Structure formats: C-alpha cells, structure tokens
Amino acid sequence: MRPLSAALLLGGLLAGCASAGARSTQSPAPTQAARAASQDTTSADRAQYPSTYQRHPNPPVLIRNATIMTATGQEIAGGSILFRDGRIVAVGTTVEAPADAVVVDGTGKWVTPGIIDSHSHLGVYSAPGTQAESDGNEATNPVTAEVWAEHSFWPQDPQIPLAIAGGVTTIQALPGSANLIGGRSAVLKLVPARSVQEMKFPGARYGLKMACGENPKRVYQSRGPSTRMGNMAGYRAAFIQAEQYIRRWDKWNKDHQGDAPQRDLKLESLAEVLRGNIFVQNHCYRADEMVQMIDLAHEFGFRIRSFHHAVEAYKIADILAREGTAVSIWADWWGFKEEAMDGIPENAALVQQAGGRPVLHSDSESGIQRLNQEAAKAMYYGRRAGIQVTRDQALRWFTANPAWVLGLDSIVGTLEPGKMADVVLWSGDPLSVYARALQVYNDGWLVYDRNDPAHQPTTDFSIGRQP
C-alpha cells in the first residue's frame, strides 16, 4: 500500500518535466518524506489529486554583476548566478556564460531567492472579494480536517499576478481560522495556470490548519466551543478519534480480516498528522495558548511545524526555540483584537535572538506583495532595540525559513547549485523601501518582467475590464 506522500511524489514523476519531483529521486527530499514512505498504515490506496505541474521550458539565464544575497550567509558583490533547466548551476564572482544563455546585466541590482509565503489566502479568498469568492472558511463545524484548500483555490484570482510581481514564487494557501481544525493547506508554485493541479508543488506535503483563541470560540459561540478550554477539548477529542482510526487501519492492514475500515476524510487528515506526514500550521496569538498547544502536540506525539501570527512569540521565544517550532508572523500588526494587543515590531528579532526560526508571512493579499519590506522593517526595529540581526537572517525570514516551514528547504529558499531556480532580480537593495522586483524567475521561467509587457501575466478576471 502506497502512502499518501509517496503517491504525490509519483504524481510529480509521471508529469515528467516536474523538476522538483524529478529531483527528489536524486537529491534528498525532506527527511520526513522518507520516513513516511517506510510506513504502511494509510487508508488511501490511490493517488489523490496529483500535481500536474510542469516546468516551463526556457533558455539558461546568467544574471551578472549583481549583488547576490544567497540566504546562506553570503552577500556577493559583483556576483553572477547561472541557472538552467530549472536549477541553479552556479553562484559566484566568476561564472562563465554558456553560449546559449540569456545574459541579464545586474549592475546596480540585487538578486535573492524567490519569496515564499507560509501563510496566504490567495485563491481561497480571491479578489474581487465578494461572497462568491469567499471560499476559505468551511465554518459549518469546528473540526473540518476533511476539507482541502486546493479544492477552493481559484487560479484566476487577480491577486496572484500582483504577488508574483512582488517576487513571490511559492505559497502555502491555507483555509481560514474560523475552525479549531480548518483543513488541509495547498503548497503551490505561484505561476499562471488553468487549474490548481498545475500549481501544486510536486512532492510538497500538506499542512493542516489549526486555530487557537478568539476566532473559533466566537464563530461557534452558540454551539461550542465557546471558551478556550472548549477549544482544547475540541482538538483533543478529534485526535483521540484519529488515534483510534489509525489503530483500525493498522489492524486491517496487518490481517486483512473482513471489510476494510471505512475511509473518513476528516480522520485521515488527522491521522496523517499523527503519522508525521502532514505538518501542523497553527494560528495562535497568545504566548500562554501556544504553550497549551505544545502540550497538546506532546500528548498526541506530533510536532507543530509553525505557529502562525504568534504576536506574543517573543514572550516564549526560549520555549519555541527548544521545541523547534517556527513562528510565521507579521512585522508590526497589532491591536485588531484583544489577543493581538501585545504585538511588538521586535517580535521577529527577539525570536531570532533566542535561536528560533522567524518567518515573515503575509496573511494578506496586500502584504504578500512586499514581504521583503516587512522583513526589513522587522530587522531594523530589532537593530534599533540593540538586537543583532544580520541581513542574511532577515532575508531568510521570507525565503529559507518559510521553505523549512513547508518542508521544502532542500529544494527552494536559498541560492545554491542544485536548488530550484526561483530567483528575483531587484532594482535595488531588497531591504529598502524603494526596491522593486524587476524580474521573477519561477523554476527558471521568467514569469514576470517589470519592463516587458510580454512577461506580465494577467488573469482572466482582469481581461477587458480596464480602459
């Protein structure tokens, strides 16, 4: 019996040109994928909604004489980067241009890895934002682990090209936070496409959206949960069911006695969390609640990959570092509700200082367009408070660290030979307010060029609506 994540990898392989999927046979895939492949306890013996992503064919590209920020500790002045067939070939000061390469003059410009947003609602809360596009919260039950964000995702969301123009190459599209357990996330290459399947990052594992605090208890006030203790009881009840579900399947997989247990989409998602195949992505604001959620994870033997929003992460930065849980946060949002009152702009810097893993996320169709600016703000707020933050660390907040949150850090998030060629060319220092993304390469494809209308994708939505 094939485990779910292996099925997805195979889907990528069948697609043929899917560079990440193809690569995963050669370079180490995220470590837990290997572990998952050795387990034989899942309930679905079939490929489920496989990725049909294919790398767009394009010539090799050499960007030369730019300042290259690799997100591996280096900022190379007068540097060059060469990529071919969707992969970075070389980064350094002496890179030869192959005869067939398109050469881009990077003089006075900067190069970074493509931006990764660990928390987006693009496609599930699409523009123009009417009720017709409101597909992010299945707010009909506090636990809807059975819903998948990809089944809501609209590839014609006109917000997608705006995010691409901001240098974003990969997103995690999440269900909303109305529910205790809101459903599965979709990890996507941010490229123009007719279907979400064509965007699904080959081999990427799903995330499971969970939410603490005010939102679920407000939404379910009348039927419950209506309190934070009710929230906790709700998560626990769900995972207890999932444990039982795993036992049922384990038993049947072993003895094949009688009918197979009935598939339950809700419990399957939760079981995959317990098996370590799906990452928990947990919306949680308050420090004390995050500590409760860590206890919950310990009770059921899973790990929370990242807290999201986490405006009070700085209060427990030591605990988060010890747990190895990332925090996906804003630079400076605060005050929109009570659990967000203690947000401070030094949050990322303080988490970094404690040895944690900060991520600058957007949760916003507007903010996703300038995650570099949000990281810059957070870095400089930290420095002004006397907290040492390097430019490389700040860059990692929106590249390598979110890649880790998605389990894709061996594939994207840095500029290193062998990595996927997700590359952004900036008009200036990306940590300046005046910098704009000039070119965005996704898997080596020039998906956006500010100076060339032929490389400025538009969605169907935007066609014929403007004078």
Partner 1 sequence: MIAFLLAQTIAITGGTVYPVSGPKLDNATVLIQGGRIAAVGTNVAVPAGATRIDATGKWVTPGLIESGGNIGLTEISAVQGTNEAFQRVSEVAASFNVAEGINPASTLIPVTRIEGITTALTWPTGQLIAGQGVMIDLDGATVEAMLVKTSPAAILATLSEQSKDEGGGSRAGAAARLRRVFTDALEYSRRRPDYTRAQMQQLAASAADLEALLPVLRGQVPLIVISNRRSDIETALRIAKEYKLRLILAGAEEGWQIADKIAAAGVPVLVQPLDNIPTYDGLGARYENAALLARAGVKVVVIENDTHNARNLRQQAGNAVAYGMTWEQALRAVTLSPAEVFGVADRYGSLEPGKVANVVVWTGDPFEFSTGVEHVFIRGREIALRSRQTELMERYRVLPPKY
Q: Which of 385, 392, 455, 458 binds partner 1 (CB under 8 A)?
A: 385
Residue 258, burial from CB neighbour count under 10 angstroms (0-12, 13-18, 19+): exposed
| Pairwise CA distance, residues 115 & 297, whole Å | 29
Q: How near is the Cβ of 345 to partner 1 at its closest, in Å? A: 7
Number of residues in contact with partner 1 under rule CB under 8 A: 51
Q: Which of 117, 135, 214, 323 binds partner 1 (CB under 8 A)?
A: 214
Asked if residue 336 binds partner 1 (CB under 8 A), the reply is: yes
Q: Which of 68, 115, 143, 379 binds partner 1 (CB under 8 A)?
A: 379
> Residue 412's Cα: distance from chain center in Å?
11
Asked if residue 335 binds partner 1 (CB under 8 A), the reply is: yes
CB 422 within 8 A of CB 169: yes
> Residue 157's Cα: distance from chain center in Å?
18
Q: How near is the Cβ of 340 to partner 1 at its closest, in Å? A: 8
| Pairwise CA distance, residues 69 & 67, whole Å | 7
Cα separations in angstroms, 140 against 124, 143, 147, 168, 229? 16, 9, 11, 32, 20
Asked if residue 344 binds partner 1 (CB under 8 A), the reply is: yes
Residues 51, 14, 117: CA angle, nearest 5 degrees = 30
Of 18-26, 201-209, 276-284, 346-354, which part binds partner 1 (CB under 8 A)? 346-354
Binding mask 109-138 for partner 1 (x = CB under 8 A): ------------------xxxx--------
Site for partner 1 in 397-436 (CB under 8 A): 431-436
The H-assigned helical ranges of 361-449 are 371-384, 391-396, 400-405
The conformation of residue 461, written as its DSSP 8-state character, comes to G
Q: How near is the Cβ of 139 to partner 1 at its closest, in Å? A: 17
Site for partner 1 in 305-334 (CB under 8 A): 314-318, 332-334
Structure token pair of residue 245: 């579900």
Q: How near is the Cβ of 158 to partner 1 at its closest, in Å? A: 5
Structure token pair of residue 32: 């837990």
Asked if residue 449 binds partner 1 (CB under 8 A), the reply is: no
Neighbours of 322 (CB within 10 A): 13
Q: Which of 135, 268, 346, 363 binds partner 1 (CB under 8 A)?
A: 346
Residues that bind partner 1 (CB under 8 A): 127-130, 158-159, 162, 214, 314-318, 332-338, 341-346, 350, 354, 365-366, 369-370, 373, 376-377, 379-380, 384-385, 387, 431-436, 461-462, 465-467
